Amino acid sequence: MKEVNNTYKSQKLIKIFLKYDEANNTIHSIAITGDFFIHPEERIDKLEADLAGARLDRDSIINVIEKSLSGSEIFGFNSQSMADAILGCLNK
């Protein structure tokens, strides 16, 4: 298990703390913090839970984010920039 983090500037700042399984290239767990807005706020917990187990490739991550946050309103990032923030951890 590898632990990495990344700070990514979208319209707002996104900070990612990622634990991932290098062998399977999947997310073990993730913490997403920052000065963005999600309405309702509690959806961030669902997003973090839904991302656990996701494959660390852009399409898979975007797919999870869009499904997980469907019906909520977001300011400060979109599914693409959140995926970039997460995958940016791998370059650290």
Measured at the alpha carbon of residue 41, what is the angle toward residues 37 and 42, in degrees to the nearest 5? Answer: 150
Binding site residues, other proteins, CB under 8 A: 7, 12-13, 15, 31-41, 44, 73, 75-76
CB of 50 to other proteins, least distance (A): 16
Residue 21 or 40 having the CB closest to other proteins = 40
Nearer to other proteins, 15 or 19 (CB): 15
Residue 21 or 73 with smaller CB distance to other proteins = 73
d(CA 28, CA 75): 26
Q: How far is the CB of 23 from other proteins (least distance, A)?
A: 29
Burial of 86 (0-12, 13-18, 19+ CB in 10 A): buried
